Each structure stands twice: as structure tokens, then as C-alpha cells.
Amino acid sequence: MTARGPSGEPVMRAVVVHGPHRMALDERPRPVPRPDQVLVQVRYSACCATDFDVIDGTMPDQARYPIVLGHEWSGEVVEAPRDQADLVGRAVVADNLVTCGRCPACLAGRPNLCPHMDELGFSLDGAHADYLVTLARSVRVLPAGVSLQAAALTEPLGVALYGTRRARVGLGDRVLVLGAGPIGLLALQTCLAAGAREVWQADRKAERLALARRLGAAATLDISREELLPALARDGLAPDVVLECSGSPEAFATAIKAVRPGGRVGVLGYYADELAQIRPSDIMMRDLEVIGAVCPTGAWDAAVGLLATGRVDTEALITHVLPLERFEEAYAVARSGDGAVKVVLEVSPP
Ligand SMILES: [Zn+2]
Ligand SMILES: [Zn+2]
């Protein structure tokens, strides 16, 4: 049943960040799609560590307040452009980036670098709401057998997939993944899918490392108990690639030292304004490549396809599912990290 406002207009619930540290569940008018947009009824929308930066005000260049949070989601199309009417009723995900399509970056196939870029959940209203609107051309229909809950994590899977590609992880590589949060645990799986020989995973939380082993990590390093570099040296581990997924500047500095000479360091974490202490000579003298990866660029079709093959398990990461109205509790659980990997808001279950 459609909720109505005082003058009969359709309304919806939305988790809105009005400014730093001001978050509320509001009643808002239901968005009306433009001719090139779809209206989506959101089913699931996950909490992400990047949301903390929007909530805390530490992403001033990206966040535009007031903003509806939520960029990891799945839903069902309610309204579609006339020439894409077959989308109505389909279970979908969609690329969150809205780019100009005309600048040199867009034309070079790197829309994630578009200077005119907007993104759902940051500068355009996102998915922690009953409904969202987004470009019809950005929509991906879910293949049979992919659940809406699994698909809610397509965006972070795409981030991991893009980072894996950017760092050119391939057949026979030995990879060290720093951080066993959602991106780290997805990167573990995309590296294995890409043909990595072994993936080692480091984190401070034993339960996350246990999950990493269940998902295929050859070895795990608990850095709350032992220092990473001596442990690698003791075991004779010299990774071809290190993927830094923790967002800790110290971990970034460690990645530079841990990778083998001639190796590659993929930077998938976000560090806000924090600085890292590195010795640039380590990069020059050891012939390293340090490679950034931002947004799931060109990775949506592959991410959805990987989900359908079952070679990547996103649902294994979901530790909590809470109804939308319990968003404050959801973020408290996600922030504490205690026993939580991915916290998903159930907006309107299928
Ligand atoms: Zn995210
Ligand atoms: Zn552009």
C-alpha cells in the first residue's frame, strides 16, 4: 500500500543525513522518475564504512547534505521509461555513478574520474529509503538464482573486482590482502576467482580471519597478536601483490614493505585526510607499482555474473539484517565491528 502525505501525494521513509552527525528517519515525498530514469522499490540496502565519513562529515568533497544514505542495494523496478518497459517488476541493481559521458575521462572509459560525477548515497539520494530513482541505462537485471540479499553487495563486490583487475592479479599470483572487512573478504574471493595461487589475509579480529579461512584464504595473520613483517619473514612469504583494503595508513606503509621486489600494491582503502609514513626510496629501489582503485568501474556486469556462478559468496559476509527503522542500531553495530562484518537494512523484504 502506498503511504500518502497530507495532500494525498505518495510519501516514503528515508534515512537522511542533514549534516555532520545529524541523521534521522524522515518522511519524504516519493521521488518521481525523469523520462530516462527508473523508480525502484528498494529491498535491501547495506551499511558501509564509507557511510561513516558522510555521517561524520569527513568526506566534504563528495557528500552533499541533506542526503539519503545507501549505495549498496538491490530492489525491484516499479516504473521505467516507455522503451524499457520490460524492466518493470524485475529484480535489479544499478551502477551508482552518474557521469557526464563527454569529458576526456568518460570518453576514455574511466567514468570514475569524471569531474562532474555524482554518486547515489553521496551527492544524489541513495537507497536507505523505500524508493530511489536512478538512470535506466545504469540498471542490471539480476540473473535467476541470485538472491536480492546477495545482490545488495554487488557494489562492494565490484570495488573488489575492479581493484583485483587494476592490480593485475592473475594466474599463479600469491596475494596478501590487508584487512578482512567486507572489501578485504570480497577481494580474497575475486583474487581466487582470477586465478591467484594463494591468498593470505591479515586483520586484527579473529572471527573475521576465521571467515577468511572458510572463504578460501590459504593462511591468516592476526596482527593483534604478531607483527606482520616478521611473521611474513618467518614463513618465507613474499607476495607478488598486496591489496590494502583496511584503510589504515600504517597498513599502507606496511604494504610497501611487505610486497616482493617488483611487486604491485593495490590501494582499495579510503584514508580520509590521514597521512602515511613511507620511504619513497622503497618504491624506487624495489621497482614497485602502487595502484589506486576507486569505485566499481566497468565491473558491474562481471560482478553480477560472478554472483550467478556462485564462485563468490557475498551472503557469507552478512552478519546482521535489521529493519530500516533500526538504522541507528545498525550503524552502531557496524561501527563497533564486534562480530559484525556486513550489516544490511531490510527496507521492504520481497
Ligand atoms: Zn560501500
Ligand atoms: Zn565525464
pLDDT in tens, 49-65: 999 999 999 988 889 99
Measured in degrees and rounded to the nearest 5, phi and psi for residue 87 equal: -75, -25
C-alpha to C-alpha distances, 196 to 143, 182, 282, 298, 310, nearest whole angstrom? 26, 19, 25, 21, 17
One domain, residues 146 and 176: no
- Has residue 6 been placed in a domain? no
The residues of the chain scoring below 70 in pLDDT are 1
One domain, residues 277 and 338: no
Ligand nearest to the CA of 113: 2
One domain, residues 166 and 195: yes
CATH number of the domain residue 132 falls in: 3.90.180.10
One domain, residues 278 and 179: yes
Distance 300 CA to ligand 1 centre (A): 14
- Has residue 69 been placed in a domain? yes
One domain, residues 204 and 279: yes
- Has residue 297 been placed in a domain? no
One domain, residues 17 and 138: yes
Distance 72 CA to ligand 1 centre (A): 6
Ligand nearest to the CA of 105: 2
- Burial class, 298, CB count within 10 angstroms (exposed 0-12 / middle 13-18 / buried 19+): middle
One domain, residues 240 and 325: no
What distance in Å separates the CA atoms of residue 81 and residue 88, rounded to the nearest whole number? 9
Extended strands (E) in 224-341: 241-244, 264-267, 289-292, 318-323
Structural domain range at position 59: 11-153+314-346
- Has residue 165 been placed in a domain? yes
Per-residue confidence (pLDDT) for residue 226, from 0 to 100? 94
First-last CA distance in the chain: 14
- Has residue 261 been placed in a domain? yes
One domain, residues 123 and 242: no
What distance in Å separates the CA atoms of residue 99 and residue 117, rounded to the nearest whole number? 5
Per-residue confidence (pLDDT) for residue 6, from 0 to 100? 84
Closest of 30, 3, 137, 165 to residue 80, by C-alpha: 137
Four-CA torsion 39, 315, 182, 133, nearest 10 degrees: 0
Distance 44 CA to ligand 1 centre (A): 14
C-alpha to C-alpha distances, 299 to 83, 199, 327, nearest whole angstrom? 25, 21, 29
- Quote the distance between the C-alpha of residue 79 and its chain's center: 26
β-bridge partners, 10: 4
For 214, half-sphere exposure in the C-beta direction (CA atoms, 13 angstrom radius) is: 12
One domain, residues 126 and 110: yes
Distance 209 CA to ligand 1 centre (A): 20
Ligand nearest to the CA of 344: 1
Distance 183 CA to ligand 2 centre (A): 26
One domain, residues 108 and 216: no
Distance 5 CA to ligand 2 centre (A): 37
Per-residue confidence (pLDDT) for residue 1, from 0 to 100? 57
| Amino acid, single-letter form, for residue 344 | V
Are 217 and 243 contacting, i.e. CB atoms less than 8 angstroms apart?
no
Distance 120 CA to ligand 1 centre (A): 11
Distance 142 CA to ligand 2 centre (A): 27
Please give the angle made by the CA atoms of 209, 212 and 215, to the nearest 5 degrees: 160
Per-residue confidence (pLDDT) for residue 4, from 0 to 100? 86
CATH number of the domain residue 250 falls in: 3.40.50.720
Closest of 304, 323, 332 to residue 128, by C-alpha: 323
Per-residue confidence (pLDDT) for residue 49, from 0 to 100? 93
3-class state of residue 188 by DSSP: helix
One domain, residues 265 and 327: no
